[in-house]
Amino acid sequence: MTPPPWILEIRRRLARDWVVPDVVKEIADGTPDARPAAVLVPLYVKERELWTLFTKRSEAVETHKGQIAFPGGLEALDDASPWDTAVRETEEEVGIPRKAILRLGELPEVVTLTGFRIRPFVGALPWPFELKEDPREVASVIEIPIRVLMGPTLVEERGVAWKGRTIPTPVYHVRGHVIWGATAFLLASLLEALTDEGRPPA
């Protein structure tokens, strides 16, 4: 079966030569012992437009308590690949079956200031789907249309302390939520691809 046109278009836009910000390279170079992790950047069509979703991490998790993130986590010994890590974690955190997620491509990896090296995969979700959050890891799920994330008044730059200096990071203010850090860098890469050629995928 031929995938829908939006899937083919996003795959095309993700197959690109990425320009990685210097600050992202610097953090990666300065954290050689970062622990391997992977996340899924989900995309789906609902109400005739493209959406993504984030999780708000619970206060019970070990790191990044209460932060906005894409579903994902540390690689497990029995994961066959980083992609398997991303879809396994997505299933565990929000209940979307890993076999239902279609791989679309990747974004440039990022290393968090807390020492995690993240492989970000973009995947298509089959809408409609049922969310089943794991309350131990996820406080809530946040669904946002891509067009809302593209609003130019949503972004600022903020300094974050790292190894005795200030690192600039993008910060997205969206519907009362604040997205910053590694997730903000991933979101910036996603929006760069989706607005390639001056317009989002149809």
Model pLDDT for residues 13-30, shown as the tens digit of each residue: 999 999 999 889 999 998
Model pLDDT for residues 56-74, shown as the tens digit of each residue: 987 655 655 678 999 999 9
Dihedrals phi, psi of 73, to nearest 5 degrees: 175, -165
pLDDT at 8 over 70: yes
d(CA 53, CA 96): 12
Model pLDDT for residues 73-104, shown as the tens digit of each residue: 999 999 999 999 999 999 999 999 999 999 99
Arithmetic mean of pLDDT over the chain = 90
Give the pLDDT confidence score for residue 121 in this predicted structure.
98
Listed in sequence order, the residues at least 6 apart from 176 whose beta carbon sits closer than 8 Å to its beta carbon are none
Angle between helices 181-194 and 5-14 (to 10 degrees): 110
Give the pLDDT confidence score for residue 164 in this predicted structure.
79
Domain residue limits, the chain: 5-196
For residue 84 the two structure tokens come to 């398997």
Give the pLDDT confidence score for residue 88 in this predicted structure.
98
Q: Please count the residues of the chain.
A: 202
Q: How much is the pTM?
A: 0.92
The confidence band for 1, taking pLDDT boundaries of 50, 70 and 90, is confident
Q: What is the mean pLDDT of residues 108-123?
A: 94
The answer to whether 175 and 149 are in contact (CB under 8 A) is no
For residue 3 the two structure tokens come to 């995938």
pLDDT at 45 over 90: yes
CATH of the domain spanning 5-196:
3.90.79.10
Nearest to 97 by CA among 61, 132, 73: 132
pLDDT at 2 over 60: yes
Give me the percent of the chain exceeding a pLDDT of 90.
69
